C-alpha cells in the first residue's frame, strides 16, 4: 500500500513554514455537493462561471476557493443563492466581508483590483449586501484532489465547527496537501498545517494574535518572506497578528515591528530529502531554509 503523502512529508521532517500560497486577497463562494479535483470547473457550479471567477481572481492576485459547511453535502439545486467571503490580508489593513449573492455570476461584479489593493469601500460598492464579518476558518477537505485532505481534514473541521458555530468552512484547496490537515484563517491569510486542533487557531485570530503551532506563513509574502517573518516571531516572541511587516526579495529581507524594532534577515534555500507533493505523485526534493538575523 502506498504511503500517504502527509505521512511521507512528516517522516522526512519537511518544514511547514514557507509553504503558504501567495495571495493578497481571497474570494470564497459557497458551493454544496461534490467537488472534483479542479472544483471551480468540476462541481455543481456552472463551469463557465467558475472558470471566469477563477481567471479574473488570479489576474489580480486574489485566491479563489469554493467553500461549504462541515457535515453532509447534499446539493438540492433548488436555489442559486449562496454565501460569499471576501478578504484582504495585508497586516494592519486586513478586512473580511461576508454576505449572500443571488447567483454565482454576481461574484463577477466584484472589483477584484480593490480587494487586492485593500480598498474595502470600493470592493463593497461593487458587491452591495456584504458586511464586515468575524474571522473565519477554512479547512481543506477535498478528497478528490488528495485523499489526505478528506481523511484528516473533515474531523478537524467538524470539531472546530462545534466550538465556533457559523465560522468554520470546508474549502476546496489550500495547497500543500502533504501538510494535511491544512487550514486558512481569514482575514489574515495565515495558513497552518499538520493541525491537531483548529479551534485555538481561530480563537487566536479573533483575539488579534497568531498561534505559531503548525504555522505555514501569511499569504501576502512569498516563501522566503514567510520564513523571515516566522523566524523573527519565534526568536523574539512576537505573537501579535499584525505586529510585523516584511519587505525584501531573494535572500535579503527586512522584518519591521510596529513598535519600531527592525531586523535584517537572510534566507537561503537548499534541498535535502524527497517526498511526493501529493498522494500518487512522484517524489520531489524537499526545500529547506537557512536563516540568519542581523
Task: Judge whether 145 and 175 are in contact, CB under 8 Å.
Answer: no
Task: Judge whether 179 and 194 are in contact, CB under 8 Å.
Answer: yes
Task: Judge whether 5 and 276 are in contact, CB under 8 Å.
Answer: yes
What is the percent of the chain where pLDDT is above 90? 85
Q: Look at residue 228 and tell me whether its pLDDT is greater than 90.
A: yes
Neighbours of 54 (CB within 10 A): 18
Q: Look at residue 217 and tell me whether its pLDDT is greater than 90.
A: yes
Q: What share of the chain is helix, strand, coil (3-state, %, to 5)?
A: 30, 30, 40
pLDDT digits (tens, 9 = 90+) for 28-85: 999 999 998 899 999 999 999 999 999 999 999 999 999 999 987 666 665 678 999 9
Assign 227 a pLDDT band (cuts: 50, 70, 90): very high
Task: Judge whether 190 and 210 are in contact, CB under 8 Å.
Answer: yes
pLDDT digits (tens, 9 = 90+) for 26-43: 999 999 999 988 999 999
Lowest mean pLDDT among 23-27, 150-154, 163-167: 150-154
pLDDT digits (tens, 9 = 90+) for 235-277: 999 999 999 999 999 999 999 999 999 999 999 999 999 999 8
pLDDT digits (tens, 9 = 90+) for 98-109: 999 999 999 999
pTM comes to: 0.96
Residue 230 three-state SS: helix
Amino acid at each position: 500500500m502506498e504511503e500517504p503523502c502527509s505521512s511521507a512529508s512528516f517522516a522526512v521532517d519537511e518544514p511547514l513554514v514557507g509553504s503558504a500560497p501567495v495571495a493578497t486577497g481571497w474570494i470564497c463562494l459557497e458551493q454544496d455537493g461534490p467537488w472534483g479535483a479542479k472544483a471551480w470547473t468540476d462541481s455543481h457550479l456552472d463551469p463557465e462561471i467558475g472558470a471566469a471567477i477563477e481567471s479574473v481572481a488570479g489576474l489580480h492576485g486574489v485566491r479563489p476557493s469554493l467553500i461549504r459547511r462541515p457535515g453532509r453535502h447534499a446539493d438540492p439545486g433548488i436555489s442559486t443563492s449562496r454565501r460569499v467571503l471576501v478578504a484582504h490580508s495585508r497586516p494592519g489593513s486586513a478586512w473580511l466581508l461576508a454576505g449572500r449573492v443571488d447567483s454565482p455570476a454576481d461574484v463577477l461584479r466584484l472589483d477584484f483590483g480593490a480587494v487586492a489593493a485593500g480598498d474595502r469601500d470600493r470592493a463593497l460598492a461593487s458587491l452591495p449586501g456584504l458586511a464586515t464579518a468575524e474571522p473565519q476558518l477554512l479547512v481543506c477537505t477535498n478528497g478528490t484532489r488528495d485523499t489526505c485532505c478528506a481523511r484528516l481534514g473533515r474531523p478537524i473541521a467538524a470539531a472546530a465547527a462545534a466550538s465556533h458555530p457559523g465560522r468554520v468552512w470546508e474549502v476546496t484547496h489550500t495547497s500543500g496537501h502533504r501538510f494535511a490537515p491544512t487550514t486558512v484563517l481569514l482575514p489574515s491569510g495565515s495558513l497552518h498545517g499538520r493541525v491537531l486542533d483548529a479551534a485555538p487557531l481561530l480563537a487566536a485570530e479573533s483575539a488579534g494574535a497568531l498561534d505559531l503551532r503548525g504555522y505555514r506563513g501569511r499569504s501576502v509574502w512569498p516563501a522566503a518572506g514567510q520564513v523571515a517573518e516566522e523566524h523573527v516571531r519565534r526568536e523574539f516572541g512576537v505573537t501579535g497578528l499584525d505586529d510585523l511587516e516584511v519587505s525584501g526579495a531573494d535572500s535579503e529581507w527586512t522584518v519591521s515591528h510596529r513598535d519600531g524594532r527592525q531586523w535584517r534577515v537572510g534566507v537561503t534555500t537548499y534541498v535535502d530529502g524527497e517526498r511526493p507533493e501529493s498522494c500518487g505523485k512522484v517524489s520531489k526534493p524537499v526545500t529547506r531554509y537557512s536563516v540568519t538575523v542581523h
